[in-house]
A and B are shown apart, each in its own frame.
Chain A
C-alpha cells in the first residue's frame, strides 16, 4: 500500500515534468501550427545553463532566473531566424528544420559541456514531509508546487489579461488578429519567450530530481510530448496538461508498479493511437 502511494506520488511528479515541457509545445503549436520538436533541446539547454550558473554563483534563484532568460532568448532566436521565414511552406519543412535545430543545440551542449553526465546536487528550499508514514522529499514537493504555480499563472495570463486575449486571438487566426490591431508577430515571439522560460524551469527541476544533466536528456521527451499534444487535443493547453499527468501516472503505475512487460517510451504513442481511433479531436480539443 505504501509502495503504491509512493509510486503514485512519483508518477505525479513525472507527469508534472511532462506537463511543464508539453506546455511550451502546446502554446507554440497554438499560435504557429508548428511542431516545435526543438523545444526539448531548449529544455536541455536550460538544464545546462542552470547547472553552470549554480556552480558559478551557488545561488539556486540566480540559476533559475539566468537559465529562464537564456532559454527565452534562445527560443526567440529559433522563432525569428528559423520558423517565421518558413511559415509559408508545407508543415514538414518547419518540422525538419526543427529537428535540425534540435540536433544542433544538442551537439553544441555536448561540445561545450562535454559528453559526460553532470551532477546537479542542489537542495530546493522546500521542507521534507512525512505524512502518515509516507515520505515526501523536498524535491517532489518543489515539483508539485512549482508546476501548480506555473499552471495557475499561465491560466491567469491566458484567460484574464488583455495579453492573453491577444494570444488567443492570434492562435485563432493570425491574419485577422493582425487586422484588429494586434501585433501578431510580437505575440508569437512572446509565446516563445513564455514557453522557453517554462522549459528552462523544467530542465532544472529534472536535473535536480535525477541529479543528472546530459546532452541527450531531451531526446525522449521531444517525441513523447508530440504524442501528448495529440492526446490532449492539438493546441489545447489544458488538454496537454491533463494528458501529461495521466501519462506520468500510467507509466509509473503500469510499468514501475505492476511490471507490465511493455516498453515505457512507446506507451505514449499507444495511448495516442487509442485516442485517435476513439476520439480524434483529443481529450479537450474541438473540431
Chain B
C-alpha cells in the first residue's frame, strides 16, 4: 500500500471509531446528536495536553482521556433528559459551537495556534507510524465494535432500544430513561474520545478548527448513510464518505459539489441508510445470498 492510501485508511478507521460512538447515542438510544465533533475534540485535546504538558505516554494517558470523555459525556448528555428531537438537535449544535469557541479563546488550550509537538505512540519502545499505526487503529476499531455488539446483547442495550422505540412505554416497564440515556451518551463519548486521542497522536497537531460543526454533520451523515443502529453501518458509512472526496479528486474543483450531490441523493432516496432496514441492498442484494434451502 502506498503511504497515501495508508493515510486515508487511517483517517477512515479513526472516523469509523467515532461514528460507532455516535451510533450508540443516535442509533441505539435514539437521541439525536449534532455535536459529536465536540466530543471528538475533547478527546483529542485531552490526549494532546496530557502528552505534551503532562508528559505522559499514550498508554498511561489513554485511561485518563477516556475518563474525561465519559465525564463530559455525562455532563453534556444532561440536556437529552429534558429536550427532544429538534430542540436536542439544535442544543447539540450549540454545544459544538461553544466547545470550539472555548478551545479557540481559552489560552490554556493553545488558542488559535492549537497544540503542536504531540509525540508519536510508543509500543515496546518503538514509535508507531504508517501501516503500524493503521494496525493499532484497526485493533481499537475491533475493540469498539466488539463492545457495540455486546451492548446490543445485554440488558442495558435492550433498555436503550426500548427507550428509542417508545419512551413512555419503556418507562412504565421500569426502565429508567435517566440512567440508560446517560449511559448511552457516556459510551458514545468514550468512543469519540478514543478516536480523538488516536487522531491527536496521528496528526501530532490539534487546533480548534479541526472540530468544527461541519465535522459533526459528516459524522452524522456517515452514520445515516451506513445505516443507523446496525453494527456495520458506521464502518460502511465512514468508508464511503471518507473515500468519496478522494475518489472525486480528479474532478478538482467540482469535488465538493459532487460530494454534496451524492450525499443529497443518498439521503433523499435511501434515507434508511445503505444497510438500513428498507434499503435497496437489503431488499434486492441480500436475498440473493441468503436464500434458504427448501
Contacts and interface: CB of A to CB of B under 8 A. Distances in A.
Interface in A100-148: 100-101, 103-104, 107-108, 111
A234 B86 contact: yes
A227 B94 contact: yes
Interface in B81-108: 82-83, 85-87, 89-91, 93-95, 97-98, 100-101, 104-105
Contacts, number: 106
B268 A104 contact: no
Nearest to B263: A100
Contact of B261 (A89, A104, A276): A104
B102 to A, nearest CB: 9
A32 to B, nearest CB: 11
Contacts of B254: 111
A195 B86 CA distance: 20
A111 B253 contact: yes
A53 interface: no
Interface string A262-281: 11011001101100100010
A223 B213 contact: yes
Interface residues of A, number: 38
Contact of A96 (B90, B98, B221, B256): B221
Which of B86, B221, B261 is packed against the most chain A CB atoms within 10 Å? B86
B271 A266 contact: no
Given A97-B268, A263-B101, A269-B98, A227 B90 contact: yes
A104 B271 contact: no
B93 A100 contact: no
Contact of A269 (B86, B94, B105, B267): B94
A226 interface: yes
Which of A99, A265, A272, A276 is packed against the most chain B CB atoms within 10 Å? A99
A263 B221 CA distance: 28
A91 B86 contact: yes
Contacts of A186: none
Given A107-B256, A108-B257, A266 B98 contact: yes
Which of B100, B105, B260 is packed against the most chain A CB atoms within 10 Å? B260
Contact of B264 (A85, A104, A226, A276): A104
B268 A35 contact: no
A92 B264 contact: no
A261 B213 contact: no
Contacts of A234: 86-87
Given A93-B224, A100-B263, A234-B87, A223 B93 contact: yes
Nearest to B256: A107
B257 A265 contact: no
B32 interface: yes
Contacts of A82: 264, 268
B220 interface: yes
Contacts of B87: 230, 234, 276, 280
Contacts of B264: 82, 97, 100-101, 104
B71 interface: no
A89 B273 CA distance: 12
A95 B221 CA distance: 10
Nearest to B213: A223
B268 A265 contact: no
B32 A91 contact: yes
Contact of A99 (B82, B85, B217, B257): B217
B217 A96 contact: yes
Contacts of A269: 93-95, 97-98
5 contacts: A91-B86, A93-B224, A107-B256, A107-B260, A226-B93
Given A82-B264, A96-B217, A230-B90, 10 more contacts: A92-B220, A93-B267, A95-B89, A97-B267, A99-B221, A100-B221, A263-B104, A272-B91, A276-B82, A276-B91
User: Across chains A and B, which 5 residue pairs bring their CB atoms closest together, nearest first?
Assistant: A269-B94, A103-B260, A100-B264, A263-B101, A266-B101
